[in-house]
Structure 1
Amino acid sequence: MSGEQSVAIVDDDDFFRKALERVFRSAGFRVESFASPETFLASYIPKEEACLILDLRMPRIGGLELLDRLKDRGIDVPVIIYSGNADVPVAVQAMQAGAFAVIQKPLSSELLISQVRMAIAETRPRRARRLQVAAARAKLGLLTERELEVARYLAEGLSSPEMADVLSISPRTVDAHRTNLFRKLEIKSIAALARLFVLDELGDS
């Protein structure tokens, strides 16, 4: 486990929400709870090592609609939805919308805790990749437009003379750009440069 794990609970039922707060605090989680989806959307700050628990049926904004709004905002956090009357079509719809799990009330505390830990663990590689992509894009963003051109050609395997011909500059100028971009990116090999471009492309997949 890396870092403190946290749970955000969204439920308009005060009694049930507070019961879940106690369950997760006693299990060692950092807990945030929200009495409405509107309050959650207005104040929630995404965290690493986190899971969101939603009631399926709430006034105005239900669990499925809230799940859609999270996706629209680019908030990538595993979601577990629970309901007292989640029939099969609704459960399938929730899973297709991206929910990690749909759990039927009455809830087993042990099952809910294990599902939350599993959701956090299984989405950890995706979060790690997201951080790697962001770091790669930040590094590539340090380059000038010409340096970025040279970097792409380097990653594709072109030699200095070949790049000089394509870019209509001298091989010496190409080598100067290469030296500068390696320094800016804090790398020492073309393999490391190629990895940055691979990560950049992964972010669009």
Structure 2
Amino acid sequence: MKPFTRLDGTAAPLMDKGKPMSNVDTDMIIPKQFLKTTERTGLAKGLFYELKTRADGSEDPNFVLNQPQYAKASILIAGDNFGCGSSREHAPWALADQGITCIIAPSFADIFHNNCYKNGILPVRLPVEVCEKLAAEAGGSNHVFSVDLEGQTVTTPAGEVFSFEVDPGRKSNLIAGLDEIGASLTAAAEIDRFEDQRRMATPWLVPVH
């Protein structure tokens, strides 16, 4: 994974009836017909497919990520319960393939929230009223926000700063660009030493292969 320290990027507001869209489930993020691959690339074409595509297969110009000013967005602003539904890891894969590496919402489904950290995406929880404010500002003429993971802040184009909480372990892994396996491998020498000592202390235990 790429290290995540500070992100200065375009924020796209995912809206529904004038409010950040709530209960965005994983089937909405990446429909089931795009789940046949185990590759993490090429999934951006299926991201929000039913929202961004008309019945005739053409792009819907009203969908936020189809609009030129948001085409390269790296931050997504949404409503409550983002990532609910099935536990498909293709959802964060598709977002990452699109270039989105930070999602700001009041709350996230637990499994999706965990999967984000495993795939280099920072999920930022902020209060509903703050998310509404951020979405409104992202819909203006300046869409560039700053997300500072080390300082745990989101700064708007107007210069307002909002603080967020993040688990210290997950924070350090994102800053280092490590998933759970990568984090475990940083202790490879200690693991090898433990296994050597265990083999010497209990030689009658034969590893099962």
What range describes the TM-score normalised by the shorter chain of this pair?
0.3 to 0.5
Richer in strand (by share): 2
* TM-score normalised over the length of structure 2: 0.33
Richer in helix (by share): 1
* TM-score normalised over the length of structure 1: 0.34
